[in-house]
Amino acid sequence: MLALGSHMSTSGGGPPRALERAAELGLESCQLFTKSERQWAAKPLTDEQITAFHRGLTADTRLNRRVVAHDSYLINMASPDDDLRAKSQAALLVELQRCDTLEIPYLVSHPGAHVGSGPEAGIARIIESVNQVLAARPDGTTMLLLETTAGQGTTLGKTFEEIAEMIDGIEDKARVGVCFDTCHTFVAGYDIRTPETYAETMRQFDEIVGLDQIRVFHLNDAKFGLGSNKDRHEHIGEGEIGLEGFRNLMTDPRMTGRMGVLETEKDTTGDLDRKNLATLRSLSA
């Protein structure tokens, strides 16, 4: 079974608060932002925050260091705008540095959008950008995870072939992997709703990219249908993927132990996360 968790807020204390909230829910994995996801600027981590975060990583034996960060939504490594791309590279480097400092093993990143310049040119820019960023931090330990995308607009990463092409061009392959988002992959046209379609989708991924590249799953049902390219998350079992689609994933022994984090709508009590997690656990039986 996947190590189940959710994206946790850092409000009211920074990254350590996310771990505290994860512990309150008894999570086995946790995703967080190490800085504001909608701003370029990054407020420096304090010594107190770093110490508290490290303490939380070792103290929570249920979580067992299974933590992943997500980078800023502003980053676009595929942009044809040289200034924006340079700004994105600098921001990604800061994100990786913060993850290294906090000892977070993975950083999820949306590959980017080509903004009308074409997929080939956009993918080439992503490869160049990642290579430059990783080369600037040769001793970095955090792995960059390229996220499968829904295919809205000119976003790249909607096909397994695009993800494979990016990884193929990245020089330091030991520091790159994949975050498989169930909603994004489904609305991009890959069906997982029946045992047969799930098996075919995973066969394709394994053949084109490699199942071993998947380090984290984003567990989201989809508000819109197969191939719609509309990125709108829904609670588990209440969207177009449905319970059986998630049962296929939860009972796949090849995925045992990998992180599976919710990015579904939350409430202030944590009850919506508890509901979605209980649903997922029931499907693994």
Catalytic-role residue among 231, 240, 247, 273: 231
145-194 confidence digits (pLDDT tens): 999 999 999 999 999 999 999 999 999 999 999 999 999 999 999 999 99
Asked if 233 is an active-site residue, the reply is yes
The answer as to whether 51 is a domain residue is: no
Residue 70 known to be catalytic: yes
Hey, which bits of the chain come out as E strands? 3-7, 29-32, 67-70, 106-109, 143-147, 176-181, 214-219, 221-222, 233-234, 259-262
AA letter at 136: A
Backbone angles phi, psi at 116, to 5 degrees: 90, -5
Choosing from 60, 95, 165, 181, the catalytic residue is 181
SS (H, E, C) 21-32: HHHHHCCCEEEE
| Residue 273 is among the residues annotated as catalytic for this protein | no
Q: Which of 109, 36, 39, 38 lies closest to 78, judged by CA?
A: 109
Q: Does 184 qualify as catalytic in the annotation?
A: yes
Is residue 259 situated within a structural domain? yes
Residue 285 has pLDDT above 90, yes or no: no
Average pLDDT over residues 8-33: 97
Question: pLDDT over 70 for what percent of the chain?
Answer: 100
- Indicate the number of domains in the chain: 1
Active-site residue identified among 48, 55, 73, 171: 73
Retrieve residue 21's tokens: 């909230």
Looking up residue 196, the CATH number of its domain turns out to be 3.20.20.150
Q: How confident is the model at residue 55 (pLDDT cuts 50, 70, 90)?
A: very high
Q: Give CA–CA dist 87/107, Å, rounded.
A: 18
Model pLDDT, residue 56: 96
Question: What residues make up the domain containing 96?
Answer: 75-283
Flag whether 119 is in a domain: yes
Catalytic residue check, 238: no
In a domain, 249, yes or no: yes
* Lowest mean pLDDT, pick from 34-48, 212-226, 233-247: 34-48
- Report yes or no on 68 lying in a domain: no
Q: Is the pLDDT of residue 38 over 90?
A: no
Which spans in 114-159 are helix H? 119-136
**73: annotated active-site residue:** yes
Residue 170 has which token pair? 């990245």
Please report whether residue 14 resides in a domain. no
Residue 13 lies in a domain: no
Read off φ and ψ for residue 123, nearest 5 degrees. -65, -40
Residue 49 placed within a domain? no
CA-based radius of gyration for the chain: 18
Which of these is catalytic: 184, 193, 215, 247? 184
pTM of structure: 0.97
Query: Is-catalytic flag, 120?
Result: no
- Catalytic residue of the set 17, 21, 66, 70: 70
Catalytic site includes residue 181 = yes
pLDDT value of residue 227: 98
